[in-house]
């Protein structure tokens, strides 16, 4: 597996949490975020790793909260905001939790400090963002999958990126072994898997 980063490159990781979760789930594996961080920090000058997710603040217990807390203490910069609940025209309850603006702002602000942005998302809405930071001289790698059914990455985003990295090709390096424990003996929390989990319910609008 070849991660195309160079030792002296200043690299930033920008992880669209719900999108990456859905892509990995579609491929049938869970991500070990400590392995993911090490994969890049061992190969380049990793400046920052951002993780974006919406949280259901009104729930007594949010299934995603243990993972968010774990990431926060293990090298990731967490960007979260509360979800919003609304009723659509058909009277159906919907949950809205879109982190696109937060991610785009951080990428634009960090661009001057980076040589290479690695975007973990297949969302076609990010095509213009990728184009904008390329004009600033920043290289962009998009990480998602075309091997799921349907593919999780928008074709226009994949074509705009300098490099497309197939998530399934990373699986052997970043897959979480369910008995895995980190060096301090604390297990990384599982991703939520129920239909009522935060990542599964939140609708991006």
- 112-125 residue pLDDT tens: 999 999 999 999 99
Two structure tokens written together for 45: 């000058």
Residue 41's pLDDT band (cuts 50, 70, 90): very high
Q: What pTM was estimated for this model as a whole?
A: 0.83
φ, ψ of residue 92 in degrees (nearest 5): -90, 140
pLDDT digits (tens, 9 = 90+) for 73-93: 999 999 998 877 667 777 776
Specify the 3-state DSSP secondary structure of 79. Answer: strand
Q: Are 96 and 24 in contact (CB under 8 A)?
A: no
Per CATH, the homologous superfamily of domain 10-201 is: 5'-nuclease (3.40.50.1010)
Q: Which residues contact 72 (CB under 8 A, 6 or more apart)?
A: 78
DSSP conformation class of 81:
E
Domain ranges of the chain: 10-201
Specify the range with the lowest mean pLDDT, choosing from 14-18, 64-68, 167-171, 194-198: 194-198
Task: Report the number of secondary-structure helices (H) and strands (E) in the chain.
Answer: 8, 8
Residue 166 half-sphere exposure toward CB, CA atoms < 13 A: 10
pLDDT at 194 over 50: no
Which of 44, 187, 197, 190 minimizes the C-alpha distance to 117? 44
Inter-axis angle of helices 167-174 and 17-27, to 10 degrees? 90
Residue-level pLDDT at 65:
84
Residue 197's pLDDT band (cuts 50, 70, 90): very low
């Amino acid at each position: 597996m070849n991660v195309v980063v160079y030792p002296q490159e200043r690299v930033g990781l920008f992880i669209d949490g719900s999108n990456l979760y859905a892509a990995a789930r579609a491929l049938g594996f869970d991500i070990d975020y400590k392995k993911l961080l090490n994969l890049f920090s061992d190969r380049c000058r990793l400046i920052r790793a951002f993780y974006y997710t919406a949280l259901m603040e009104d729930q007594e217990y949010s299934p995603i909260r243990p993972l968010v807390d774990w990431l926060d203490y293990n090298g990731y910069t967490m960007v979260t905001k509360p979800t919003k609940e609304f009723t659509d025209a058909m009277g159906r309850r919907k949950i809205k939790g879109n982190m696109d603006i937060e991610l785009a702002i951080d990428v634009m602000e960090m661009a001057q400090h980076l040589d290479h942005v690695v975007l973990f998302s297949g969302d076609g809405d990010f095509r213009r963002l990728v184009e904008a930071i390329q004009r600033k001289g920043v290289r962009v790698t998009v990480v998602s999958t075309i091997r799921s059914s349907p593919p999780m990455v928008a074709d226009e985003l994949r074509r705009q990126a300098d490099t497309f990295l197939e998530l399934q090709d990373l699986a052997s390096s970043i897959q979480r072994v369910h008995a895995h424990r980190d060096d301090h003996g604390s297990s990384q929390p599982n991703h939520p898997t129920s239909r009522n989990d935060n990542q599964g319910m939140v609708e991006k609008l």
